[in-house]
């Protein structure tokens, strides 16, 4: 199992994984959201420096972690790296893909902090996600948010 930064050649499999992710998410509007052109553009921008797209690969790509860099609402000088989607295909769960994606995200986030590109980085957990212990990776719980 290896973790690497995604390339444009990975976009078709990333789109497939995002569709799998969408089917299991508890947000109803996502059932209608399937704009591959928009998502392809967003992924391309993230890969070219506006974020981070990691893939877990074991012969085939089996997982992904997608995050974007944007300015803080409080200051245009303070940029944040925010995870948007973290997914491992069901048949690859229980192995090391999820752990390795998270560990690499933590490493890359710390590297971006040290270079001064971001001031913080975030990971989220949906209500239907496995109970991962983000504290073990050095994350502190900041908030919970609710949807209506």
With a cut of 80, say whether residue 52 has pLDDT above it: yes
Residue 30 in this model has a pLDDT that exceeds 80 = no
What average pLDDT does the segment 4-29 reach? Answer: 91
State the average pLDDT over residues 123-136.
79
User: Distance from CA of residue 65 to its chain's centroid?
Assistant: 3
**7-11, 54-58, 81-85, 122-126: range with lowest mean pLDDT:** 122-126
Q: What is the DSSP string of 18-36?
A: HHHHHHHSS-GGGGG---H
Calculate the dihedral angle through the C-alpha atoms of 144, 119, 69, 19, rounding to the nearest 10 degrees.
-40
- 3-state secondary structure (DSSP) of residue 146: coil
Give, for 38, the enclosing helix (H) or strand (E): helix 36-45
51: tokens are: 């974020």
Residue 83: partners with Cβ closer than 8 Å, 6 or more residues away: 65, 66, 67, 105, 121, 122, 123, 124
10, 63 in Cβ contact below 8 A? no
Q: How does residue 132 score in pLDDT terms, banded at 50, 70 and 90?
A: confident
Q: What is the pLDDT of residue 98?
A: 92
CA distance 3 to 134: 18
**What's the token pair of residue 52?**
């981070």
Please indicate whether residue 60 or residue 30 has the higher confidence score (pLDDT): 60
């Amino acid at each position: 199992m290896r973790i690497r930064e995604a390339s444009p050649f990975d976009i078709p499999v990333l789109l497939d994984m995002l569709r799998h992710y969408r089917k299991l998410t508890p947000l109803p509007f996502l059932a209608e959201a399937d704009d591959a052109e928009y998502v392809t553009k967003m992924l391309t921008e993230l890969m070219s420096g506006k974020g981070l797209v990691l893939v877990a690969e074991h012969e085939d790509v089996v997982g992904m972690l997608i995050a974007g860099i944007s300015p803080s609402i409080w200051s245009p000088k303070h940029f944040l790296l925010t995870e948007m989607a973290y997914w491992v295909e069901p048949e690859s769960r229980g192995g090391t893909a999820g752990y390795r994606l998270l560990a690499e995200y933590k490493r890359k986030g710390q590297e971006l902090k040290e270079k001064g590109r971001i001031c913080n980085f975030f990971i989220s957990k949906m209500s239907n996600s496995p109970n991962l212990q983000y504290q073990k990776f050095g994350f502190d719980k900041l908030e919970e948010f609710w949807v209506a």
